[in-house]
Chains A and B, each alone.
Chain A
Amino acid sequence: MTRPPNAPRSVLVVAALAMAFLALPVLALLQRAPWSGLVDLLRRREVVQALGVSLLVSLTAAGIVLVLGTPMAWVLARVAVPFRRLVRTLVVLPMVLPPVVGGTALLFALGRRGLVGQWLERWFDVTLPFTTAGAVVAATFVALPFYVITVEGALRTSGEDLEQVAATLGADPLTVLRRITVPRLIPAMGAGLALAWARALGEFGATITFAGNLPGRTRTLPLATFQALESDPEAAVALSLVLLAVSLAVLLPTRHRWLPTR
């Protein structure tokens, strides 16, 4: 490998160490994998079930994030909302909050006796805890900020110049959004969505606290892995590998969208 002419050796060394730090746990996981019995392990009902729940929950959450997050990002970037800084802090809050705290807060808000949840139950006979929908809510809650931050950042960086030109050419605000803003935003939306989806897939604390843990309904791959770790470590490794494989399967092909290359 040829060293770039301006790369100081110390920087390269530290970068290599950092890469090793990130790669090591994954390598250890692969090393511990029961490769011989893996296929049987993967075919086990609990693994397939957990995978199904995880995919359903994470993809649904990603969809909701897209629908809710895009307008939110646009407003934050383009509209002079009162207390904008406060609003932006609120948006980032789920990122900073420990997931279990987030799940507990969701319980207080949307649980059976929650602030809003009690009305959901009383008027619509809708309960969220212990349901797959509840798992989706928890996943959406933790994933939404990742999307909003990414898209809002892109909107603010790209500026309003092109949108202004489009307006002077006669395009009304909705047309500007449709023909100029959104098409140029697609890469950032893709990046944000990939991040949000990955976060939703890996969500544990908020899910187990708010939605609970039931196979086939709320037991996602992370929950199943946590449980298996204590009683059946081999299954835990298999589940971890599934999580790893699913993540790579989605993130690798789309990397040109979210990886800041070029």
Chain B
Amino acid sequence: MSTMPPSLEPDPGLDREPSREPVLKLDGTATVGDLVLRVALEVLPGELVAVVGPNGAGKTTLLRLLAGLVRLNDGRLDLGRRTVDDGSDRGFVPAHSRRIGWVPQDRLLFDHLTVAANVGFSPHSTPDRVDSLLTGLHLQDLADRRPNECSGGQAQRVAVARALATDPDLLLLDEPSTALDAGSRRRIHALLGNRDQRPATLLVTHDPAEAADLADRVLELTAGQIAGTPPL
């Protein structure tokens, strides 16, 4: 079923604890325009996988595929314990039914809502969670402000908080640290660095230092295919 060359497949011999089932299991193909994405990938709970690669390689498309905004042509995508996409119409679980948090490259905050309303937007969020996230990311003072009143760094933190508030199985970050000041970057890294409290995370980044700092694994995506190190 897998179409990847054997050396790049997840090592079947890896010792896995029974409770550490992968949150994400992907093995399939998706086509968007000229790009053909062909990926096999697994992510364990709490694991942070960095995805690097040149522009146009398909990094954002990969995240969108996992988020449910792009569909598989064939193959299979499992999130949590269920199959959310098997290439068929019937087997496709739409975005709003998946427990993922997506922080897009453009952040895409809701301008017509306050920061607090943004963070608490998801029906899965709870007021407690929202409060702790606002506090944890130092956003309490901005709670009643609008996104357009926030600086770049603040807005980025709001976007991350918003995604985390959904209590996702999988967190998807698309270049979260680009053009951020050092302080904001540190805060986000602190949040992401907390292994016990973070969900399985895919982090698209241009910064090799960031990847090295935070990631358990680094995947290199080129022209829609992974050419990177096998899992540790």
Contact = CB atoms under 8 A, between A and B. Distances in A.
Interface string B183-216: 0000000000000000000000000000000000
B96 interface: yes
A125 interface: no
Interface string B84-105: 0000000000111011111010
B225 to A, nearest CB: 25
B200 to A, nearest CB: 15
B104 A161 contact: yes
Contacts of B101: 168-169
Contact of A171 (B67, B102, B122): B122
B61 interface: no
Given A162-B110, A183-B112, A167 B94 contact: yes
A170 interface: yes
B121 A166 contact: yes
A164 B98 CA distance: 13
B150 interface: no
A159 B61 CA distance: 18
A170 B108 contact: no
A168 B106 contact: no
B96 A170 contact: yes
Nearest to A180: B110
B110 A164 contact: no
B178 to A, nearest CB: 18
Contacts of A184: 111-112
Secondary structure type dominating chain B contacts: loop
A173 interface: yes
Nearest to A168: B102
B163 A169 contact: yes
A33 B67 CA distance: 66
A169 B108 contact: no
Interface string A134-162: 00000000000000000000000000011
B102 A170 contact: no
A252 interface: no
Given A162-B110, A180-B110, A169 B166 contact: yes
B95 A168 contact: yes
Contacts of B69: 164, 167-168
A166 B94 CA distance: 12
B124 interface: yes
A101 interface: no
B123 interface: yes
A172 B68 CA distance: 13
Interface of B: 67-69, 94-96, 98-102, 104, 106, 108, 110-112, 121-124, 162-163, 166
Interface of A: 161-162, 164-173, 175-176, 179-180, 183-184
30 contacts: A162-B110, A164-B67, A164-B69, A165-B102, A165-B104, A165-B108, A166-B110, A167-B69, A167-B95, A167-B96, A168-B95, A168-B102, A169-B96, A169-B162, A169-B163, A170-B96, A170-B99, A170-B122, A170-B123, A170-B166, A171-B96, A171-B122, A172-B96, A173-B96, A175-B123, A176-B96, A179-B121, A180-B110, A184-B111, A184-B112
